[in-house]
Amino acid sequence: MIATIQYKSKKLNINLAEPLDISIPLKGSTSNVNAWYIGPPKIEPELMDGKTISVAEGASVNFNTITFNPHAHGTHTETIGHISKELFPINKYLKQFFFLAEVISVAPEKDGDDYVISAKQLQFAIGNKKREAIVIRTLPNMKDKKSKQYSNTNWTYLQEDAVKLLVKKGIKHLLIDLPSVDKEEDGGELLAHKAFWHQNGKRRTSATITEMIYVSNKIDDGLYVLNLQIAPFENDASPSKPILYKVIE
């Protein structure tokens, strides 16, 4: 099914029958991807009057309660409310859901004891392209990203200047396959988050960061239309399901 999308002065064709899901599904298991020093998510049937509400246990329906943290347990999209005193619910501040996106692959650089993504690398990958969203796939790109236990691993992060470059280029939606755009232990500085949302200047309240995606190696770098789907949570972050559609040239 070919659909035509109007983007500014251009018409873009995409095949709606070929969605490319770059989210990591959440499951109630220790093999679920995890970060930030908490236990795995739980998906368990509710107990009522001593009975387990599960078809397998003789109930007429399945009635599971899910306990998880969106920042720690999988693909999630967040607003400036993640680092502000005020509440900026993702459900209210993400008002559009289709964006022109560029998928890029970046091999992090060594910087002391860390691995980082620099402004120079992003400039090389993006060039002068005009995009609303950027999808960053870090290399090497192994399938264990979908189940990795990230706590105490000092993961790769974006340098502050790299994020400032994205803002300068007009990127409003940043997607990356890491638990955070910032260093795991940075003393609370959150330089990348603050640079992206202009925490100390004019706030970009409609801009979002999506973390813990997984971009299959079968997905080429290049131009896509991004459909950024969220659950309607009144919270700074929500589990999300970003879908890419290759632009048909």
pLDDT greater than 90 at residue 127: yes
Using pLDDT thresholds of 50, 70 and 90, give the confidence band for residue 200.
low
Poorest-pLDDT segment among 2-11, 20-29, 63-72, 172-181: 2-11
Rounded to whole angstroms, the Cα distance separating 32 from 18 reads: 26
How much of the chain exceeds pLDDT 70, in percent? Answer: 99
pLDDT greater than 90 at residue 150: yes
How much of the chain exceeds pLDDT 90, in percent? Answer: 93
The domains located in the chain, with CATH, are: 2-25+73-248 (3.50.30.50)
pLDDT at residue 63, as a whole number: 98
Rounded to whole angstroms, the Cα distance separating 157 from 37 reads: 18
- The pLDDT mean for the chain works out to 96
pLDDT at residue 5, as a whole number: 84
pLDDT greater than 70 at residue 199: no
Mean pLDDT, rounded, for 198-205? 83
Mean pLDDT, rounded, for 92-105? 97
pLDDT at residue 154, as a whole number: 98
User: 199-206: long-range contacts at Cβ-Cβ below 8 A with a sequence spacing of 24 or more?
Assistant: 199/80, 199/83, 199/84, 203/80, 203/84, 204/80, 204/167, 204/172, 205/79, 205/80, 205/88, 205/93, 206/93, 206/94, 206/95, 206/172
Whole-prediction pTM: 0.96
pLDDT at residue 9, as a whole number: 81
